[in-house]
Amino acid sequence: MGLKALNVYDIYNTVNPDEPIPFSDPRYVDLSPARGGRSVAAIAERRIIHTKAPNYQRILVTGRRGSGKSTELRGLQEKLEQARFLVAYLDVEQTLTLVDIEYLDILVAIAQTLNELGEKHGLALNPGLLADIGEWFAEIVLTSEEKESAAIEVGSEAGIGFEIPLLSKIVASVTSKIRSDTVNRREVRRKLEPRLPELMERLNLLVDNVTQKARERGFGGLVIIVDSLEKMMLKYLDDRGLTNHALLFVEHAEQLKSFDCHTVYTVPVSLLNDRNLGTAFDIFLIPMVKITAHDGSPHQEGRDLLYEVVSRRVDVPRVFSDPALVYRLIEHSGGVVRDLMRLLIFSADYTLEGAQITEKEVEQAVQNLVRDYGRLIHARDLELLRRVADDPHPPASADLDRLMYNRLVLPYHNEDEWWVALHPAVRQSPVFRASFQRQVMEQR
């Protein structure tokens, strides 16, 4: 099957809301002109390339799900690799458990990623260092049976001289324990926490060794990119309002930024206005694609760019009865690419076999999205939602960050200002409309 959907059934194969598109993919569309002209990948690349050791960039990338963070980070990886940087790319969604992530889990996963990177590029890493790190992890975390199993497995695969594979097996075994279940995760953390200084010392020695060998091979340096952390579930840990997000990125910022190399992490949008976070990292927010200005007027450039996003996946004249219907979907997406993809799929759901998508199916798709967002609105949110509806520049607050995390409020950017707006599906939800109407009546 080609890249474009030729009928409604093809949409299920050419449209994927969760697929990050590399810059080199023919479906990629540069949306930065409708995001205030800012490309996170371009800015981060420039900073990293022109920052020389011992100075390093510590960057956090945030934005709501569907804003294109993974696409930007994959693009950053491509740009840095083209500039001859060695990039350790870690997607925690593939390695850890998003419902329960702590800083120690990330540190172990980084160790595994760096080791695999060394193997992939054939870097002649210090065998004594690798053996020491492997033995340290084995001694602290693994049981006697697990240590013996790892040694036997490696010995049968590699015979003599297997320091790198041994470290791979041991660190992979520790990561597997973290990912497997809550009991194992807590046990690994319990064992590692008292030995944190030793862990950090060994990780920094590994980073230094990888960097040294990379430079010997002509690389400009090492960059660690940790993706998907913004997808962590939000949990409140105490009565003071401490969240698992703040525990990870604020309380343990020193550990996450302590490596002697450039580091880039994604971070939940719930922490956007945390001042403590801003003192440890530079924060880049990826806004939504601007399809409407904050005064309510249409922004045609953004709408046309999103039309191009659709047309690179769908043969619009063949699939839609009227190409203008695509602009209807764009308007209701709020400039959220992921929601635009979902609206395309919803439209296909309601279309009869062999038929084109008409105004009827588009309206059904929109109502489906409205119902989805309506379920996210709680009574405690209504007052702030009404305020955002009237004021595109509300003061920063934890409640506003929570609404952004829950996708009810969306951030946008001009070249000279930020503002926020309600998702169109929130504006159309019956619960919000009733609340807004009551407010209007009370003001009279």
**Predicted confidence (pLDDT) per residue in 164-200, tens digit:** 456 778 888 888 888 888 888 999 999 999 999 999 9
Angle 135-137-141 from CA coordinates, rounded to 5°? 125
Cα 219 from Cα 53, distance rounded (Å): 13
The verdict on 28 and 137 lying in the same domain is no
Q: What is the mean pLDDT of residues 339-353?
A: 96
* Helices of type H across 312-392: 316-319, 324-333, 337-349, 359-374, 382-390
Model confidence at 425, in pLDDT bands (50, 70, 90)? very high
The pTM assigned to this predicted structure is 0.85
pLDDT digits (tens, 9 = 90+) for 61-73: 987 776 778 888 9
Residue at which a domain ends, from 268, 285, 302: 285
Residue at which a domain ends, from 261, 285, 309: 285
Non-local CB neighbours of 296 within 8 Å, separated by 6+ positions: none
Q: How many domains does the chain have?
A: 2
Residue for token pair 């790892």? 150
The verdict on 50 and 145 lying in the same domain is yes
Residue at which a domain ends, from 266, 285, 304: 285
Model confidence at 387, in pLDDT bands (50, 70, 90)? very high
**What domain range is 345 assigned to?**
1-37+294-444
The verdict on 245 and 352 lying in the same domain is no
Q: Write down the pLDDT at residue 22.
A: 84
